[in-house]
DNA sequence: CCCGAAACGGAATCGCGTGTCAGTTTCGGA
DNA sequence: TCCGAAACTGACACGCGATTCCGTTTCGGG
């Protein structure tokens, strides 16, 4: 049920392949030079195709950036939801391990290719209102995901009963966001950053 | 020593006044429609001046956005440094109070006028490389400020001795960033958000 | 009240990038 | 090998907006 009807055959597959290549090339260009600074011609040139061809695959410039973002959002949410259900854990220690695992996934995506956070956080919001709303939706989605983990923890009793779940979730996501942004300049600090984040959550910053 | 040489007189003052009005109008436009979507003509029209006049005050479109950002950065750093030196406190309780005070200042700036975070976080980074570097510099500056507070706390012994100061500072700033971004949609949640942030720092999220 | 300098305004210029389109090439099937 | 459909190409047609420039207006000093 994951893929739709068979894409007929050969030529059709070629088309889908080129379509994918265009999305990737556009991602490269947008991340490197920025959305407004790259022209359709740049994207086409990168693939060695005429820029008229581009319009056989995408309506217009605005159209493709949506697809690029789709792609990235898919990667990120995929990493977040895969094999890490909130109710897979039942103790604080397990929870901490799980959060480390999730942090690692995110780190892999954001840290290994800084173009991903650059596009999602630095380029996309400035494109237009619709896109910035989309990014805000993404934050909201992330907040509700995190909130689900917290809710689960409160119910099982390994997290504070009086947790302000929603706002705490946003604060935690903020820390993750901070990590992603840091990785724009110092991708190698990603791991330490992630550990510091977890220490704040579990140990706080105060001396005992 | 705060102001330079006297700006001669009357007419000169008028000029400075208009200059300021242009900066404000540009801020309005950029925050509302976005940098790329606003033309110089829009800024000029908002003030009822000819757009040619604009060029008597600023070199070009790129020039003015720098001044707008200067202005905002000044406001933010002003709020951060004013009357809140790191060494003004010496106990955890005082520190917590101070952080609440700082949070309140930031909340006033970000929460009361969402256009400020929208411009700084959503519009500016997408303008060009130079501007996004500038925003990253701002994050670095903020990180070093926060780090100074943490260092002071560690030295006086009211914060954990084994704190990873730099990364913890970035994580904390990330939470603040998250709050600022939330305030784009729900400015009224600002206070609760800020409180949740402090609870994470001081109490953690784990059940006792 | 008059004059020259400085400020203003907005029509005109110019460059750039999006999107179109008609001619050309490719390719699978017969 | 030949044919028609489908894909590709890039020169071209716009439209848009930044910047310029010069005729007009304002204003302070004499």
What is the full DSSP assignment across A66-109? HHHHHHHHHHHHHHHHTT--GGG--SHHHHHHHHHHHHHHHHHH
Range among A43-57, A71-85, A93-107 with highest mean pLDDT value = A43-57
Global pTM reads: 0.92
Q: A87 exposed, middle or buried (CB, 10 Å; 0-12, 13-18, 19+)?
A: exposed
Q: Is pLDDT above 50 for A2? A: no
Which nucleotides of strand D are protein-proximal, with an atom < 7 A from a CB?
7-11, 17-22, 27-28
Q: Please provide the average confidence, as pLDDT, over all residues in chain A.
A: 91
B73: left (phi over 0), alpha (psi -120 to 50) or beta: alpha
Tell if the CB–CB gap between A175 and B179 is shorter than 8 Å. no
What percent of chain A is predicted at pLDDT more than 90?
76
Chain B's closest residue to A161, CA to CA, is B207
| Residues paired with residue B159 on neighbouring β-strands, in sequence order | A206
Question: A129 at the B interface (CB within 8 A)?
Answer: yes
Which nucleotides of strand C are protein-proximal, with an atom < 7 A from a CB?
7-11, 16-22, 27-28
CA-to-C1' span, B74 to C7 (A): 30
Q: Is pLDDT above 50 for A175? A: yes
| Residues paired with residue B171 on neighbouring β-strands, in sequence order | none
Predicted local distance difference test score (pLDDT) of residue B1:
43
Distance CA B119, CA B136 (A): 14
Distance CA B195, CA B104 (A): 10
How far, in whole angstroms, is CA B90 from its chain's centroid?
27
Predicted local distance difference test score (pLDDT) of residue B5:
46
Predicted local distance difference test score (pLDDT) of residue A100:
87
Predicted local distance difference test score (pLDDT) of residue A1:
42
- Strand C proximal to A52 Cβ, under 7 A: yes
Question: A121 at the B interface (CB within 8 A)?
Answer: yes
Query: What average pLDDT score do residues A120-140 get?
Result: 97
Instruction: State the nucleotide closest to A10 in CA–C1' terms.
Output: C28
Check: CB of residue A139 under 8 Å from CB of residue A173. Answer: yes
Size of interface A-B (CB pairs under 8 A): 187
Q: Is pLDDT above 50 for A151? A: yes
pLDDT tens-place string over residues A82-108: 878 888 899 999 999 998 889 889 888
Could you list the pLDDT tens digit for every one of the 208 residues in chain B?
444 444 566 777 888 999 999 999 999 999 999 999 999 999 999 999 999 999 999 999 999 999 999 999 999 999 888 877 888 899 999 999 998 888 889 888 998 899 999 999 999 999 999 999 999 999 999 999 999 999 999 999 999 999 999 999 999 999 999 999 999 999 999 999 999 999 999 988 777 6
| Residues paired with residue A159 on neighbouring β-strands, in sequence order | B206
Predicted local distance difference test score (pLDDT) of residue B12:
77
Domains in chain A, please, with CATH? 9-58 (1.10.10.60), 61-203 (1.10.357.10)
Question: A94 at the B interface (CB within 8 A)?
Answer: no
Predicted local distance difference test score (pLDDT) of residue B2:
41
Q: Considering only the beta carbons, identify the residue of A92, A176, A196 that sits closest to B206.
A: A92
Residue B54 tokens, joined? 């604009």
């Amino acid at each position: 049920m994951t893929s739709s009807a068979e894409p007929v055959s050969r030529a059709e597959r070629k088309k889908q392949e080129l379509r994918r290549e265009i999305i990737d090339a556009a991602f490269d260009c947008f991340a490197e030079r920025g959305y407004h600074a790259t022209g359709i011609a740049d994207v086409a040139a990168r693939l060695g195709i005429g820029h008229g061809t581009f319009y056989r695959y995408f309506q217009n410039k605005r159209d493709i950036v949506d697809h690029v973002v789709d792609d990235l959002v898919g990667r990120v949410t995929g990493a977040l939801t895969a094999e890490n259900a909130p109710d897979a854990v039942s103790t604080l220690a397990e929870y901490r391990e799980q959060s480390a695992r999730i942090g690692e996934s995110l780190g892999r995506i954001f840290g290994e290719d800084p173009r991903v956070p650059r596009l999602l956080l630095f380029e996309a919001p400035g494109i237009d209102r619709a896109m910035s709303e989309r990014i805000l939706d993404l934050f909201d989605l992330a907040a509700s995901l995190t909130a689900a983990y917290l809710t689960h923890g409160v119910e099982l009793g390994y997290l504070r009963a009086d947790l302000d779940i929603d706002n705490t979730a946003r604060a935690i996501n903020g820390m993750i966001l901070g990590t992603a942004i840091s990785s724009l300049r110092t991708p190698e600090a990603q791991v330490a950053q992630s550990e510091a984040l977890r220490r704040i959550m579990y140990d706080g910053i105060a001396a005992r």
